[in-house]
């Protein structure tokens, strides 16, 4: 009897122990989970146990001959979950969510990036599966016996006790943990990767219900908050670009640290450096994207709403009602279009652009792309800009357009003939290649400006350049420290989230350029641009502000709840002096702003998940 009982549980416990050890090793080697004390390390160590005991324990409801097969299959599934998160984390520094898993349309396009992120050592994750298969084969049982009810009760009570112990420790370490669904690292660190995915699934179900239950009353509180936060814009700049064409250029993966920087005596971005001196240039401008990356940046630019903390709005809420920039400008007599030499369904753009009110989407089928003119993710930037300028010439004027570049995209592939800089010589191939592709992108921008002049579009346009998101993730901090010549602290990492943003108005900014040092973000692009175009703010629901407003409180919120204000940078749970980078001894100085950041994110999420703008549009 004793031997039978031991046999019954030994295979289960061995499998659970293997997975527990494997998960902890992945935590420590593949994820950058920040540990500040022994208590947090202890929580990280024990947090997979309760889930693993429960998940493997389901096998106790099966007959003995099928129990081991279930346990082996469970180990294989959990290993795939680990592996998928590892690969995703290597570039995005984030964990997978259900909305991301639903983005199957993107998988074909992402193939090259995923294969470059896979490492041969990843196959070691399956060693325990092989061992378990051998053990199962040697101890194969054909018994029809089931586990007695009393034993199952004791087992699951133990599993529940471990869960409550884990939750107790987590609540002490991080009060109100489950209200911070945007902080995925915190959830994984305290609840385990597996419990995080269960929680994420519950949140996904909640968002479906939120839209069904929403009504116009849900919008009133948000409207009042937005109205009370707005500041009077600068009347002197109202309409300085009125009736001009608008060309908004998304600079793929371009971060501000490359500007005004040399690589072994060679200027990295000579064109952008020159443009910055002839434009309204914003030195401390931050990307605010989440898991949707480029598509999140597009959402921010056209709606002045925050992207979601999970997945991409372009996928999860493409059928929402929006009051986007193209819709607003069409009321001012503008034609509208997007130019992007990629598959129209990538990031669900074909459907989302319809929701935004765009007249035309010039996708890859509008371009002439050959193997010689393509690299990495598609058409090279020089060819893209040349053809885009010609396509713009066919549009009714004035027009509002957005153009999205591709070449400076991970894994930053380039052709030998496009190399324009010496090798950076860092320990990371990704970082070394990045300098080459960003230099190529800069040269393509130079040729774009020239082509716009040739086509007669330059003088009567306002040209906006912005970086969409980071290009170099935290996984390459060691190489970046070689480039920057200093250690990358949480403060320095936040500084690396700055991206270029400049508004170039020929005949205006070249005569009277402005350099703005106050912090801002992508959410501010729409109100700033519309004011320059002479479009009045008729109580639009947006969280951004006119960056030229003299009464504006500089406050830029990141999707993870971090923020930058005029005095402070709050990131990674720490408060820093914005100008000196010194950590504040009393973090309470940041708490009041942290609550406001959380409030803005929650309000924006409510608008999107509840599709609340449908009520605003009906009212209008």
Residue that is last in its domain, among 192, 210, 228: 210
Determine the pLDDT at residue 486. 93
Could you read off the pLDDT of 548-580 as tens digits, one per residue? 998 888 999 999 999 999 999 999 888 999 999
Instruction: Identify the H or E element spanning 197.
Output: helix 193-213
Residue 531 lies in a domain: yes
Residue that is last in its domain, among 508, 539, 570: 539
- Tell whether 474 and 356 lie within a shared domain: yes
Residue 228 lies in a domain: no
- Tell whether 269 and 182 lie within a shared domain: no
- Tell whether 199 and 256 lie within a shared domain: no
- Tell whether 248 and 328 lie within a shared domain: yes
Question: At 490, which CATH number?
Answer: 3.40.720.10
Residue 344 lies in a domain: yes
Residue 613 lies in a domain: no
Q: Which of 248, 246, 343 is nearest to 301 (CA)?
A: 248
The CA distances from residue 566 to 494, 556, 580, in Å, are 14, 9, 12
Residue 249 lies in a domain: yes
Q: Which of 463, 431, 432 is nearest to 450 (CA)?
A: 463
- Tell whether 173 and 240 lie within a shared domain: no
Q: CA angle at residue 307 from 303 to 312, to 5 degrees? A: 115
* Upper half-sphere CA count for residue 362 (Cβ side, 13 Å): 24
- Tell whether 21 and 68 lie within a shared domain: yes
- Rounded CA gap, 193 and 95, in Å? 8
Active site residue 370: no
Residue that is last in its domain, among 539, 569, 593: 539
How many domains, the chain?
2
- Rounded CA gap, 122 and 126, in Å? 8
Residue 247 lies in a domain: yes
Domain around 327? 236-539
Determine the pLDDT at residue 179. 56
Determine the pLDDT at residue 282. 98
- Tell whether 415 and 449 lie within a shared domain: yes
> Among the options 254, 294, 336, 437, which is catalytic?
294
Residue 590 lies in a domain: no
- Tell whether 289 and 416 lie within a shared domain: yes
- Tell whether 458 and 405 lie within a shared domain: yes
Burial zone of 210 (CB within 10 Å; 0-12 exposed, 13-18 middle, 19+ buried): middle
Could you read off the pLDDT of 145-156 as tens digits, one per residue? 667 778 778 888
- Tell whether 299 and 350 lie within a shared domain: yes
- Tell whether 157 and 253 lie within a shared domain: no
- Tell whether 165 and 276 lie within a shared domain: no
Residue 616 lies in a domain: no
What stretches in the chain show pLDDT beneath 50?
1-4
* 3-state class (DSSP) for residue 465: strand
pTM summary value: 0.77
């Amino acid at each position: 009897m004793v031997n039978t009982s031991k046999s019954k549980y030994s295979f289960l416990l061995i499998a659970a122990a293997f997975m527990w050890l494997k998960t902890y090793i992945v935590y420590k080697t593949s994820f950058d989970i920040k540990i500040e004390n022994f208590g947090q390390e202890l929580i990280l160590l024990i947090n997979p146990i309760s889930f693993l005991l429960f998940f493997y324990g389901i096998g106790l409801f099966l007959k003995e001959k099928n129990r081991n097969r279930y346990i082996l299959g469970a180990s294989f599934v959990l290993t795939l979950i680990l592996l998928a998160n590892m690969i995703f984390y290597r570039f995005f520094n984030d964990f997978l969510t259900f909305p991301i898993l639903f983005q199957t349309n993107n998988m074909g396009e992402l193939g090259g990036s995923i294969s470059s992120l896979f490492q041969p050592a990843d196959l070691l994750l399956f060693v325990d599966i092989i061992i378990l298969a051998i053990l199962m084969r040697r101890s194969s049982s054909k018994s029809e016996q089931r586990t007695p009810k009393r034993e199952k009760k004791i087992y699951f009570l133990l599993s529940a006790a471990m869960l409550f112990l884990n939750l107790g420790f987590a609540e002490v370490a991080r009060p109100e943990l489950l209200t911070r669904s945007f902080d995925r690292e915190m959830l994984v660190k305290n609840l385990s990767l597996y419990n995080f995915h269960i929680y994420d699934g519950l949140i996904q179900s909640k968002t479906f219900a939120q839209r069904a239950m929403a009504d116009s009353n849900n919008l009133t509180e948000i409207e009042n908050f937005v109205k009370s936060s707005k500041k009077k814009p600068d009347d002197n700049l109202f309409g300085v670009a009125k009736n001009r064409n608008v060309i908004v250029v998304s600079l793929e993966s371009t971060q501000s640290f490359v500007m005004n920087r040399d690589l072994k005596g060679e200027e990295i971005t000579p064109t952008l450096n020159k443009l910055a001196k002839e434009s309204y240039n914003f030195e401390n401008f931050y990307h605010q994207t989440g898991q949707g990356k480029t598509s999140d940046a597009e959402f921010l630019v056209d709606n002045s709403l925050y992207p979601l903390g999970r997945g991409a709005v372009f996928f999860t809420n493409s059928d929402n009602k929006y009051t986007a920039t193209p819709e607003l400008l069409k009321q001012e007599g503008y034609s509208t279009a997007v130019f992007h030499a990629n598959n129209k369904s990538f990031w669900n753009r074909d459907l989302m652009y319809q929701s935004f009110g765009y007249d035309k989407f010039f996708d890859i089928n509008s371009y002439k792309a050959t193997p010689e003119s393509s690299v990495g993710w598609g058409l090279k930037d020089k060819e893209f800009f040349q053809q885009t300028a010609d396509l713009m010439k066919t549009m009714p004027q004035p027009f509002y357009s957005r153009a999205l570049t591709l070449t400076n995209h991970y894994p930053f592939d380039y052709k030998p003939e496009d190399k324009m800089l010496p090798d950076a010589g860092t320990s990371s191939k990704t970082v070394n290649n990045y300098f080459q592709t960003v230099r190529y992108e800069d040269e393509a921008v130079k040729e774009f400006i020239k082509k716009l002049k040739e086509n007669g579009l330059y003088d009567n346009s306002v040209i906006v350049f912005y970086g969409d998101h980071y290009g170099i993730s935290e996984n390459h901090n060691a190489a970046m420290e070689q480039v920057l010549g200093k250690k990358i602290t949480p403060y320095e990492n936040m500084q690396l989230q700055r991206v270029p943003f400049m508004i170039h108005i020929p005949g205006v900014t070249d005569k009277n350029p402005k350099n703005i040092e106050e912090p801002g973000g992508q959410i501010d692009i729409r109100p700033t641009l519309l004011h320059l175009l002479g479009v009045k703010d008729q109580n639009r629901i947006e969280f951004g502000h006119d960056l030229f407003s003299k009464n504006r409180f500089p406050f830029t919120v990141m999707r993870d709840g971090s923020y930058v204000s005029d005095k402070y940078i709050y990131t990674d749970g720490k408060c820093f002096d914005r100008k000196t980078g010194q950590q504040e001894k009393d973090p309470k100085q940041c708490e009041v702003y942290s609550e406001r950041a959380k409030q803005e994110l929650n309000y924006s999420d409510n608008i999107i998940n509840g599709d609340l703008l449908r009520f605003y549009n009906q009212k209008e």
